[in-house]
Amino acid sequence: MKHQTISNRREFFRNAAMAGAGLVMTPTLAMGSGDDTIPHLKNSSPALSTRKLGGLEVSGIGLGCMSMIAGTYNPTPPKDEMVAHLRKAVERGVTFFDTAEVYGPHGSEEVVGEGLEPFKGQIKIATKIGFEIQNGQRRGRNSNPESLKKAAEGCLKRLRIETIDLLYLHRWDPQVPIEDVAGAMKDLIAAGKAAHWGLSEVAPDTLRKAHAVLPVAALQSEYNMAERVVENQILDTCEELGVGFVPWGPTHRSFLTGRFNEYSRFDDLDRRSQLPFFSKEGFEQNMPFLRIVRKWSQAKGITMAQFSLAWLLAQKPFIVPIPGTTSPQHLAENIGALEVKFTAAELNEIRAEIENFKLLGVRAPETALVDQ
């Protein structure tokens, strides 16, 4: 990646470190002309506020663990650092951790298992199954009930637990009736292998069919200020059925944190290099959207990441974002979003501004009604 500007979150942490060393800088001195003013980083308390995903109670913000191994966005972080990072998250009050069999494959679950083993009974672990994995490579989708049960056994071993707190079907294989998937999950719960189950990226009708067989605790799909397709019937269906909602990509792959600018480009191994939103044309059209995020974060005295996460939290009381980070500083920043509050007038004004902006590379509303 090249030609990136310093975002307000990075500038904040630099100045926070200097302040800790006894160097006090005013916003005018700390920032160049035209840059963001320094936001106030909301601090978290050890006991974080909680939310419900169906019958599962978790911290209001979780930790996504996909990036703790090489793959989608980054090179391999040192394993010992990630183990320490997970344990620091627990110390900060995070009780909800999200991983998947396919991350690695298997590597993320192994790191999570080692990092969280000392906290059995104190935290909740979610993982996802539903892909065929052969010779260390992800193949096609596989929702066959026997394959799901076999996959769950592997997850339990890697996670070093006896029961998976929340077991998702990662992506539905339409060759297998969703009712059969629900039946397999019912068997796993009856056997004590899982406590709750969830789905990911399914349409409202599919969610209803599955829920009728076995109550679904949570639906996990992409949702953030830029990508709002789930506002077309999906969130309403979750609310009607009592299903929690876990948005992945809550800062739109770091776009909403102010990390990138119109000159940002990505390595071919970076997932963003394949997405129109992050193309040259996408950046040209989408970058002005950040003026909205920046304006409101400055007005609230918080970082852009905190504003983006707090906006999500304000949409529904059953939403639990899982921002992924390997940075202890960003972890503390993300947790701070739980303290941010909005008035009804503020939310209405924000809504009007973001809906008035046309973004390139986001999903059409009707795609929410089709299984992904």
Q: Going by DSSP bridges, is the β-strand pair 137-141/131-134 parallel, antiparallel, or unpaired? A: antiparallel
111-135 per-position pLDDT tens digit: 999 999 999 999 999 999 999 999 8
**All domains of the chain, ordered by start, with CATH?**
12-41 (no CATH), 43-369 (3.20.20.100)
207-253 per-position pLDDT tens digit: 999 999 999 999 999 999 999 999 999 999 999 999 999 999 999 99
Query: What is the arithmetic mean of pLDDT over 154-168?
Result: 98
Contact 54, 60 (CB under 8 A): no
**Does residue 16 surpass a pLDDT of 70?**
no
173-213 per-position pLDDT tens digit: 999 999 999 999 999 999 999 999 999 999 999 999 999 99
Q: Which residues are catalytic?
A: 103
Structure tokens given for 357: 């902006």
**Does residue 40 surpass a pLDDT of 80?**
no
Looking at residue 122, its amino acid is Q
What count of other Cβ atoms lies within 10 Å of the Cβ of residue 230?
A: 24
**Does residue 280 surpass a pLDDT of 80?**
yes
**Does residue 165 surpass a pLDDT of 90?**
yes
What is the signed CA dihedral for 17, 22, 26, 29, rounded to 10 degrees?
Answer: -80
d(CA 241, CA 295): 36
Looking at residue 56, its amino acid is L
Contact 202, 371 (CB under 8 A): yes
Residue from 91, 150, 161 nearest 126 by CA: 161
